[in-house]
């Protein structure tokens, strides 16, 4: 099942879901086209309402996902109004470190490192201290605010927990980076230990709606993921949680996920667009268009106005030449590679941000220092969900 909205090619026809409820809402105005009349939301007023504290309903969020292409710029303008209110023109850069690759016993259908995948990915246990530090140095050079330490696993074993507890204080002391740990399912005690060693936030993606989750994974449940997020919150850590769009879910599933992330008061939301890797059960699944991706980002921004919104894996593949428009609703990107897929060169990200008139938070990178990974270190090849962004 495609997540791409079925849109009419006739300019006079409303997008699916633009029914009498939408037309009668205070956010809609009756607009007249050259071929007839249809309900058109007042996107800018909707943004003002959000800034003033009104929470969008699920029906309104679904309406945003069904915005016709001819209204897309109006939707992005409204989303940017909300983004600018809370984040100005800033862009946060994140650096993803693949600390342990492959070897995962879970059967997540999107994941190139799962036990049901035949995709060729590197397999290694958690990296030694020197490689983790070298990657942290590179993260600082690339102007990253946050260093994402990711492992591929159902959850961390004791050896992996101790490795994280030892390296995190050293990274923070040397480079001043925030640390986001993506280690899989956590117990309450493990979450408290991560807080004690200096981890700032934990990534654990919902990935999709509760209703659709069993279609993509059977070895753990959506409830297991939510429980981990509660452990993280109870430990005093910030939440980083998002999902993957394009796995065959419906638009209602995407809205459900966005709403649940709002209920969880998630501080950071990575939105991935499925990079359907050959050898995984979801190979050749996604048929997202750049417009689909932009609508999705705008909806997440309007539903979660104060959350940091990150364009994560699949942005180069699916947004393509429209990548810059994604930063009108979003305020964060990964700089460099993802987990089992490569990102565009960091220099292209800097240029894109500069051309938009936006600013990377933090100091400028040293132009005399290479932004390539040190020999023997790779950020691309495993960890976390194994799809394309932190989200185990």
User: One of 83, 104, 197, 293 is an active-site residue; which one?
Assistant: 104
Q: And the tokens for 313?
A: 């894996």
Q: Which of 255, 270, 50, 328 is nearest to 146 (CA)?
A: 270
Q: Tell me, yes or no, if 182 is annotated catalytic.
A: no
111 is catalytic: yes
Give 363's DSSP letter: P
CA separation for the pair 79, 329 (Å, rounded): 5
Catalytic residue among 83, 148, 293, 380: 148
Distance CA 305, CA 298 (A): 10
Catalytically annotated residue among 83, 111, 142, 380: 111
> Which residues are within 8 A (CB) of 214 and not within 5 positions of it... i.e. 6 or more apart?
221, 222
3-state secondary structure of 392: coil
Pairwise CA distance, residues 245 & 319, whole Å: 13
Distance of CA 90 to the CA centre of its chain: 17
Integer Cα distance of 2 and 288 in angstroms:
8
Q: How far is CA 279 from CA 114, 115, 153, 165, 388, in A?
A: 10, 11, 19, 34, 15
217 counts as catalytic: no
Nearest CA among 268, 186, 169 for reference residue 235:
186
| Alpha-carbon gap, residue 229 to 203, rounded angstroms | 9
Q: Are the CB atoms for 101 and 383 separated by under 8 Å?
A: yes
> Around Cβ 329, how many Cβ atoms within 10 Å?
25
Instruction: Give the integer Cα–Cα distance in Å for 48 and 50.
Output: 5
Q: Give the active site residue among 40, 66, 108, 193.
A: 108
Given 293, 310, 315, 390, the catalytic residue: 310
Rounded to an integer, what distance in angstroms lies between the CA atom of residue 6 and that of residue 17? 11
3-state helix, strand, coil in the chain (%, to 5): 40, 15, 45
Q: Is 131 exposed, middle or buried (0-12, 13-18, 19+ CB in 10 A)?
A: middle
Active site residue 310: yes
Q: Which of 197, 240, 293, 380 is catalytic?
A: 240
Active site residue 385: no
Q: Which of 331, 373, 367, 348 has the alpha carbon at shortest distance from 136?
A: 373
**Token pair listed for 294:** 């932009």
Residues serving a catalytic function are: 104, 108, 111, 148, 180, 240, 310
């Amino acid at each position: 099942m495609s997540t791409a909205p079925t849109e009419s090619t006739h300019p006079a026809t409303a997008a699916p879901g633009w029914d009498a409820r939408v037309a009668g809402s205070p956010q809609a105005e009756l607009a007249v086209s050259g071929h007839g009349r249809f309900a058109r939301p007042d996107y800018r007023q909707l943004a003002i309402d959000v800034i003033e504290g009104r929470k969008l309903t699920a029906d309104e969020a679904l309406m945003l996902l069904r915005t016709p292409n001819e209204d897309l710029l109006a939707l992005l303008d409204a989303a940017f109004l909300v983004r600018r209110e809370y984040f100005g023109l800033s862009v946060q850069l994140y650096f993803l470190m693949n600390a342990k690759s492959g070897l995962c016993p879970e059967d997540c259908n999107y994941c190139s490192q799962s036990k049901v995948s035949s995709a060729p990915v590197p397999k290694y246990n958690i990296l030694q201290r020197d490689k983790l530090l070298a990657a942290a140095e590179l993260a600082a050079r690339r102007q990253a605010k946050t260093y994402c330490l990711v492992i591929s696993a159902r959850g961390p074993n004791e050896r992996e927990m101790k490795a994280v507890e030892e390296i995190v204080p050293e990274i923070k002391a040397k480079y001043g980076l925030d640390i986001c740990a993506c280690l899989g399912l956590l117990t309450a005690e493990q979450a408290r230990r991560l807080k004690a060693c200096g981890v700032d936030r934990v990534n654990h993606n919902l990935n999709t709606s509760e209703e659709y989750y069993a279609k993509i994974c059977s070895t753990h449940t959506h409830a297991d993921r939510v429980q981990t997020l509660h452990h993280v919150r109870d430990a005093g850590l910030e939440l980083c949680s998002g999902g993957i769009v394009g796995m065959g879910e419906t638009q209602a599933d995407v809205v459900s996920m966005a709403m649940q992330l709002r209920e969880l008061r998630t501080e950071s939301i990575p939105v991935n667009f499925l990079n359907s890797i050959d050898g995984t059960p979801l190979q050749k699944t996604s048929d997202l268009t750049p417009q689909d991706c932009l609508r999705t980002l705008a909806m997440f921004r309007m539903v979660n106005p104060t959350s940091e919104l990150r364009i994560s894996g699949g942005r180069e593949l699916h947004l393509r030449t429209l990548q810059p428009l994604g930063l009108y609703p979003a305020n964060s990107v990964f700089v460099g590679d993802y987990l089992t897929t490569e990102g565009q060169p960091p220099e292209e990200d800097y240029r894109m941000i500069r051309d938009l008139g936006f600013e990377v938070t933090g100091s400028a990178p040293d132009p005399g220092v290479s932004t390539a990974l040190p020999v023997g270190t790779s950020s691309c090849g495993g960890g976390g969900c194994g799809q394309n962004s932190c989200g185990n």
